[in-house]
């Protein structure tokens, strides 16, 4: 099978490419140039896609003896990921750019180009598993499952993949722990064996999302208010706040009984940030849109586990789909659920699909 190995310059994608080669595939390494003005060197463990990262990927390809190319997808990344991230925050929502990148870049733009060039599949260094099961018609279908290493599991950010994309995807690291991957990289003589992992938003290398949004959207001072509309403080841009946030509010007076206060709503149309006590954050019902299914869409009510953020805990729930929307009812209340986040549904370790949270609320349960 002819396979494009997406090589970021990190240890995970290096070992993934090596394992695909060991499995007998015809492998070509590809580094995605996602920045229109890539830095020469990495400033820290944050971020990725520097010229240094491209060089690291090339060195691994040389060790493996495989062809290596850099594909320029900076314009597509800017439009589909960075501009989407900015516009979502401007709307008072809290997006996850990693899901959007997987959906739009790695498994749309990259896979589409690879197939157009005659390749059969794309392999990445994500920690997740593909499991083949009978399809009921004499063939096999592929399911997306959690990784063996729960601490590194990345199935949440892959919940946007559909069954057509999964049919052409490989995740060779899903059955291995991260320490073992580093050991394997060292055994193979890869320079990147001890390279720090990249984390946070890759296009905000200093990790200061608020400052980055301020530069992108400009300052727009407004009021911080409580549920009754009383002004408690001022902000320089409602976009810099997210539901569940407690730090950095700088309120003018404490709550009547001294309780901590949190952001409970962002109102971009009024340029207001609403704060309240923790009891106002509890929700048990979610409406999601932009539903993406990793197989056939569920029919009727299903029992699922629900994950609301990367590396977050899983909550038991009931879900049902209608069109491109999903309704989720959690068994218990949870807090800090913001519009724009993604809700990913699981059956055991299998990823059922995902949706973008459009609204959340507390629904009263009738006593019987």
- Beta-carbon contacts of 302 under 8 Å, excluding residues fewer than 6 positions away, are 318, 319, 320, 345, 347, 352
Secondary structure (DSSP) of 271-313? TEEEEEEGGGT-EEEEEEEEEEESSSPP-S-EEEEEE-STTPP
Pick the catalytic residue: 48, 49, 98, 101?
101
Helix 178-187 and helix 11-22: axis angle, to 10°? 70
Burial 322-348 (b: 16+ CB within 10 A, else e): eeeebebebeeebebbbbbbbbbbbee
Annotation marks residue 49 as catalytic = no
Task: Answer whether 34's CB lies under 8 Å from 11's CB.
Answer: no
How far apart CA 56 and CA 54 sit, in angstroms, is: 5
> For residue 86, what are its two tokens?
């900015």
CB neighbours of residue 363 within 10 Å: 10
First to last CA, the chain: 59
Pick the catalytic residue: 48, 98, 202, 294?
202
Helix, coil or strand: residue 83 = helix
Residue 14 host element (H or E)? helix 11-22
Helix, coil or strand: residue 357 = strand
Annotation marks residue 294 as catalytic = no
How far apart CA 276 and CA 266 sit, in angstroms, is: 12
How far apart CA 65 and CA 95 sit, in angstroms, is: 39
Distances, alpha carbon 310 to alpha carbons 63, 145, 153, 325, in Å? 33, 15, 9, 21
Catalytically active residues are 101, 202
């Amino acid at each position: 099978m002819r396979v494009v190995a997406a090589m970021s310059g990190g240890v995970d994608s290096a070992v993934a490419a090596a394992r695909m080669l060991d499995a007998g595939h015809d492998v070509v390494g590809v580094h995605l140039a996602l920045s229109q003005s890539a830095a020469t060197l990495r400033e820290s463990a944050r971020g990725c896609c520097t010229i240094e990262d491209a060089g690291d990927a090339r060195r691994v390809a040389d060790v493996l003896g495989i062809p290596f190319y850099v594909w320029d997808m900076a314009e597509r990344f800017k439009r589909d990921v960075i501009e989407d991230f900015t516009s979502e925050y401007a709307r008072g929502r809290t997006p996850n750019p990693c899901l959007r990148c997987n959906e739009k870049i790695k498994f749309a733009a990259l896979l589409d180009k690879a197939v157009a060039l005659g390749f059969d599949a794309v392999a990445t260094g994500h920690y997740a598993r593909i499991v083949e099961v009978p399809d009921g018609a004499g063939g096999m279908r592929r399911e997306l499952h959690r990784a063996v290493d729960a601490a590194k599991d990345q199935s949440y950010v892959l919940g946007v993949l559909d069954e057509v994309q999964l049919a052409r995807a490989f995740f060779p690291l899903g059955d291995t722990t991260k320490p073992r991957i580093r050991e394997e990289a060292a055994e193979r003589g890869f320079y990147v064996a001890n390279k720090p992992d990249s984390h946070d938003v890759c296009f905000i290398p200093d990790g200061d999302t608020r400052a980055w949004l301020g530069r992108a959207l400009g300052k727009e001072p407004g009021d911080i208010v409580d549920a009754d509309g009383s002004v408690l403080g001022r902000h320089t841009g409602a976009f810099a706040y997210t539901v569940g946030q407690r730090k950095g509010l700088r309120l003018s007076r404490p709550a009547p009984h001294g309780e901590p206060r949190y952001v409970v709503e962002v109102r971009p149309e009024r340029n207001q940030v609403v704060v309240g006590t923790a009891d106002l954050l509890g929700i048990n019902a979610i409406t999601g849109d932009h539903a993406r299914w990793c197989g056939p869409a569920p029919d009727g009510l299903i029992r699922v586990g629900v994950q609301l953020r990367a590396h977050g805990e899983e909550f038991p729930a009931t879900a049902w789909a209608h069109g491109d929307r999903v309704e989720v009812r959690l068994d218990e209340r949870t807090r800090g659920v913001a519009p724009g986040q993604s809700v990913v549904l699981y059956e055991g370790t299998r990823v059922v699909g995902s949706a973008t949270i459009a609204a959340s609320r507390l629904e009263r349960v009738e006593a019987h």
